[in-house]
Amino acid sequence: MKKMNMVIAQSGGPSMVINESLVGAVLEARKSAKIGKILGARHGILGILGNDYVDLRKPSVKKLEAIAETPSSALGSCRKKPDAADCRAIFEEFRKLSVGYFFYIGGNDSADAARIVAEEAEKEGYPLVVYHIPKTIDNDLRSCDHTPGFGSAARFVASAIRGDDLDNRALEGVKIDIIMGRDAGFLTAASALARVRPDDGPHLIYLPEVPFSEEKFVKDVKAAVKKFGRCVCAVSEGIRGKDGIAIGAKLGSGEKDSHGNVQMSGSGALGDALAKILKTKAGVKRVRADTFGYLQRSFPGIASKVDQAEARAAGAAAVKAALKGELSKGTIAIVREEAKKYKVAFAPVPIANAAKYTRSVPKEYIAKNGHDVTEAFLAYARPIVGELPPCEVL
Amino acid sequence: MKKMNMVIAQSGGPSMVINESLVGAVLEARKSAKIGKILGARHGILGILGNDYVDLRKPSVKKLEAIAETPSSALGSCRKKPDAADCRAIFEEFRKLSVGYFFYIGGNDSADAARIVAEEAEKEGYPLVVYHIPKTIDNDLRSCDHTPGFGSAARFVASAIRGDDLDNRALEGVKIDIIMGRDAGFLTAASALARVRPDDGPHLIYLPEVPFSEEKFVKDVKAAVKKFGRCVCAVSEGIRGKDGIAIGAKLGSGEKDSHGNVQMSGSGALGDALAKILKTKAGVKRVRADTFGYLQRSFPGIASKVDQAEARAAGAAAVKAALKGELSKGTIAIVREEAKKYKVAFAPVPIANAAKYTRSVPKEYIAKNGHDVTEAFLAYARPIVGELPPCEVL
């Protein structure tokens, strides 16, 4: 049996556990006699195009375990959509290096990039097994019950909102917290896990799935302030008006990546704009806005243990599936098994299932009032996020 | 011996460990035969003026321990400077309730409020022992080597910058992070604890103690990008130009509290303004700005263990000192003992030592280039903040 070499890379936004998937894949590959070199391309497909690799047979298991615990993408990342010319350059590289396996860890855009590479390889007759390994804090892959990276980011969000709600109890007023999620509101919805008592925040939750109305927002906040004497709002960066255009994108720089995504994170503009609305139209004196920004995907030391284990297992599952060779272009679906106790399976499915299009928060997870989540969502998210630190009030 | 009742309250910005001080004081007071009722006033002196108390003899030790671990001010807070009329109303309250001891946990403004109460009590001949218990994430009390609350906030900042720097390694560009600290740059300086390797961020650190120049900022960032291919900047919310006026305050709402402090946190305006400067004047394409905001003082589960223990001890020390009666109006100084091993003492000193005026980051902690800290600062801050989670790169 001829050994083939493998290339693995990371793409899209980093997460707290994307290195778990990398290490899971590398350790699994090291077990196989079918795999020769294990090459990590730096900054996704840019590393392949630029011939910039890390030899992943070299690091000790101890070092790899430390990498796994470290947030962000250890190989570096990119947001590059490959065209036909890029693919030809990639296969030229791969031929020279005898690469037979290509693994790409990322979200829907990264899955799409991997799908393009796989389809172009077929067209060109280059024999390549391509596997996408799921990752996104947005939790919006259609192929997964939930996506590695989400649980840890959700844990950050729920923790941050819990702390911020305690802060808001101490110094009352209205607090707006802007949470990541370009198209899907899962991460913003996870803020609800912060609640312990009936008067705990977040008191209002706004998802991109529900058209945002300034009038309703002002009315909701007034009602919450009347009821609680204060109000904590969890707002998705992706909220959009009836026209379907994200409000934050209108306020931002207009900067776009090669998948056509407009910049939304890395600016406090949306929070500040909403705070201004409340000061002028809701007559609230003390309004503060924080934008959780990049911390929610990269904060060290607070990852969800379940998320870490699943990210590791997804990486290993992709290598196992690629070696079995049932699918030449696949992704790993995370499937929740129907049972009282939380349990998941990792199943190889066609890569197209994860690529390009995303999923939204389903209707049964959104409260009828349009500014909260349902018990069904909490039951869905709780085991992925895990227990939070103690929270006691006087 | 006649028992006297005590009132304790919290004031100013919350911290992750201010409840440790509350619980430290309450558990110490429960040991004494000299103290009758232990009353917690809600929202600082507003609770006294509004006759709103919590009976702190009631909660179980288990509940108090959970309160101690919970961030923010469990009794609620306020930013109220009492005038002579407030003080008369307070003493009327205290007379009715036979209050002989008053403890106020907070920063320099809270110490000043306690000082005013103590001095007015003397004028009026009302026998009252007043102790301020130090707390501030800003670390700017003149009476302390360092202040309870700082170590945990600094731990948040160092962790956040470490994660964000890893994120910036993966997707390169310039990242600006705005950190709390109205007048003192200690918390921003603590970002330097994030570094492990010579090329780790923060690459540039801007404190309020060094006049901020837009030209130097642009030049510094260009040089860092040239050297590292990227740049992470830790910027204090309190940076000020040569005119001494905080740049963030000029951009903000102009809202003031009764101590005359202008609102700076709870807005992304400063970060966004600095990002705009870099995009237009430094020609950097990818610039992102995050404002750490309220999370840095209220995030649950990540407090520094040393900070927790010291906050607890400071609360207990205040009650012990008040019962001894050496000073009728005091605060607890945290004194670092000269020794190889980190060790502190808790000493009662006059309340005026902590009140009103703050201290700045001393010159020996600021690097000569004006955008970094010295080894002396790192040696000072490290034991207070503790070890951070693993951080390994490929």
d(CA B45, CA B82): 8
Report pLDDT for B338. 81
CA distance A360 to chain B (A): 26
Q: Are B266 and A279 an interchain contact pair (Cβ–Cβ within 8 Å)? A: no
pLDDT tens per residue across span A331-389: 999 999 987 899 999 999 999 999 988 999 999 999 999 999 999 999 999 999 999 99
Q: Are B287 and A269 an interchain contact pair (Cβ–Cβ within 8 Å)? A: no
Q: Tell me if the bond preceding A350 is cis, omega within 30° of 0.
A: no
Q: Order across the sheet with B53-55: list the strands.
A: B53-55, B35-41, B4-10, B99-106, B129-134, B329-336, B344-350
The sign one gets for the Cα dihedral A59, A65, A66, A67 is positive
Report pLDDT for B264. 64
Report pLDDT for A153. 98
> Quick one: which of A366, A34, A314 has its CA closest to A184?
A366
Where does the pLDDT of residue B376 fall: very low under 50, low under 70, confident under 90, or very high at 90 and above?
Answer: very high
DSSP category for residue A171:
S
Find how far residue B47's CA is from the centre of its chain: 22
Nearest residue on chain A to B40, judged by CA atoms?
A394
Q: Is A138 a catalytic residue?
A: yes
Give the lowest-confidence range in A36-45, A117-126, B97-106, B268-277: B268-277
Mean pLDDT for chain B overall: 95
Report pLDDT for A264. 64
Find how far residue B149's CA is from the centre of its chain: 5
| Average pLDDT over every residue of B220-245 | 96
Which residue of the set A86, A109, A112, A138 is catalytic? A138
Residue B104 pairs in a beta bridge with B9, B132
Tokens of B42: 């809600």
Contacts of B253 in chain A (CB under 8 A): 279
Q: Is the pLDDT reported for residue A259 higher than 90?
A: no
The kind and range of the H/E element at A341 are none
- The answer for residues whose C-beta is within 8 angstroms of residue B145's C-beta and 6 or more apart is B334, B335, B336, B344
Q: How many CB pairs under 8 A join A and B?
A: 210
Q: Is the pLDDT reported for residue B140 higher than 70?
A: yes
Interface test with chain A among B8, B294, B385, B388, by most A beta carbons within 10 Å: B294
Nearest residue on chain A to B274, judged by CA atoms?
A267
Nearest residue on chain A to B73, judged by CA atoms?
A170
Residue A298 pairs in a beta bridge with none
d(CA A314, CA A189): 24
pLDDT tens per residue across span A116-138: 999 999 999 999 999 999 999 99
Report pLDDT for B252. 66
Q: Is A76 left (phi over 0), alpha (psi -120 to 50) or beta?
A: left
SS3 call for A380: helix
d(CA B114, CA B107): 11
Nearest residue on chain A to B174, judged by CA atoms?
A266
The sign one gets for the Cα dihedral A340, A343, A347, A353 is positive
| Average pLDDT over every residue of A188-215 | 97
d(CA B318, CA B303): 22
pLDDT tens per residue across span B79-123: 999 999 999 999 999 999 999 999 999 999 999 999 999 999 999
Q: Is B39 left (phi over 0), alpha (psi -120 to 50) or beta?
A: beta
Q: Tell me if the bond preceding A148 is cis, omega within 30° of 0.
A: no
Contacts of A393 in chain B (CB under 8 A): 67, 70, 74
Where does the pLDDT of residue B265 fall: very low under 50, low under 70, confident under 90, or very high at 90 and above?
Answer: low
d(CA A7, CA A97): 10
Yes or no: say if A377 and A192 are a contact pair by the CB < 8 Å rule: yes
Q: Scanning the structure block, which residue is given the tokens 């079918």?
A: A34
d(CA A146, CA A136): 9
pLDDT tens per residue across span A74-109: 999 999 999 999 999 999 999 999 999 999 999 999
Q: Is the pLDDT reported for residue B141 higher than 80?
A: yes
CA distance B175 to chain A (A): 8
Better pLDDT: B247 or A30:
A30
pTM of the model: 0.96
Mean pLDDT for chain A overall: 95
Residue A366 pairs in a beta bridge with A373
Biggest CA pair distance of chain A: 74
Q: Is the pLDDT reported for residue B255 higher than 90?
A: no
Interface test with chain B among A11, A175, A294, by most B beta carbons within 10 Å: A294
Where does the pLDDT of residue B254 fall: very low under 50, low under 70, confident under 90, or very high at 90 and above?
Answer: low
Which residue of the set B138, B177, B200, B372 is catalytic? B138
